[in-house]
Amino acid sequence: MADHQLSTDDVRRLYDQHGPALVLYASLFVADGGAAEDVVHGVFLKLLRGKQIVPDAPAAYLYRAVRNAALNTRRDRSRDAPLPDQDIWFTHRERDREAAFALQQALRELPDEQREVVVMRIWGGMTLEEVAEATDAPLNTAASRYRYGLAKLRERLKP
Amino acid sequence: MNGDEEKFQEFLRGFEPRRPRPLPLATGIWHDWRRLAAAAVIVLATGASLQLGYRGPLTKHAGEHPASGQNPSGAVKVLPRMSSAAMTRAVLEGSDRFDAQMNDIAARTLPRFNHTDSSLRALAKE
């Protein structure tokens, strides 16, 4: 796989394509939506400054970078009192805020490793191979985490 | 994967992560200290050259410029420097100010041969 630096337009395109799902992904690690956006912006600003070499298929790289940055932020702020999380992660096509909030709660209750796989696969549009690469897990492990996570979500969102 | 799972995944995709604020692209560019430093050097160099080009006291000692008219105090009156636009306007208007300005500049910048130790004067004698 060839590595290369990205132009400003490349970075902008990647942000448009992956930004929303990456902010959602960062929200799994940090206390509030503002911090999650800051984490994602930090990763993309490094790309803009040409300081990072990015592989041809950058999705797994981006999720790994956001995860590392989010964990650093969480560690740096660990002594701060956690704020009550009032952020809304999702919008629903039919403006069903209640359903969006229920999904957010259900996602919160998933184990970390299942939750991140579900987010990458459903909202990041990644293949299971990319998810496995991003999470440093074998393909079978990533696939079973996805399956279990999906089943639990379905159970919790049952009407 | 069965049909129910497919449907459930579609249901989940009906929820969209909220769009984050736009990427601050300008910030990324301005954080590049090398570009900032290069811009600063260019600005400083341009400023310095402009200042040197326009610098000059309004009066100079007569000994330095004997070609200009002298006053009793030994200082030579030097006309205020006109801008290019003002000089162009003076030419178009046929004003005497243009000739006066050119004479003044010539007296201060061209080599003189009326000075006792002027090389042009020495050459003219030969």
Tell me what ipTM this predicted complex has. 0.81
Contacts of A153 in chain B (CB under 8 A): 8, 12
Token pair belonging to A51: 């300081």
Residue B67 phi/psi, 5-degree rounding, is -70, -25
Fold exhibited by the domain A96-159: Arc Repressor Mutant, subunit A (1.10.10)
d(CA B108, CA B106): 5
- Determine the pLDDT at residue A80: 59
Q: Is residue A33 over pLDDT 60?
A: yes
Token pair belonging to A76: 């740096």
Q: Could you tell me which CATH number the domain at A1-80 has?
A: 1.10.1740
Question: Within an 8 Å CB–CB cutoff, is residue B26 touching chain A?
Answer: no
Q: Which of B5, B20, B31 sits opposite A40 (nearest CB)?
A: B20
Contacts of B17 in chain A (CB under 8 A): 20-21, 23-24, 89-90, 123
Q: Cβ contact (<8 Å) for B24 and A45?
A: yes
CB within 8 A of A94, min separation 6: which ones?
A: B14
According to DSSP H, which parts of A6-119 are helical? 8-27, 33-48, 58-76, 97-108, 112-118
Strand partners, B77: B59
Q: What are the residue ranges of CATH 1.10.1740 in chain A?
A: 1-80
Quote the percentage of chain A above a pLDDT of 70: 91
Q: Region A120-149: what's the mean pLDDT? A: 94
Q: What are the residue ranges of CATH 1.10.10.10 in chain A?
A: 96-159
As a 3-state breakdown, chain B gives helix, strand, coil percent values, each rounded to 5, of 55, 10, 35
- Determine the pLDDT at residue B90: 81
Q: Cβ contact (<8 Å) for A123 and B9?
A: no
Q: What does the pLDDT look like over B53-95, one tens digit per residue?
A: 665 555 444 444 444 444 555 555 667 777 778 888 888 887 7
- Determine the pLDDT at residue B86: 82
Measured CA distances, A109 to A15, A33, A102 (Å): 28, 18, 11
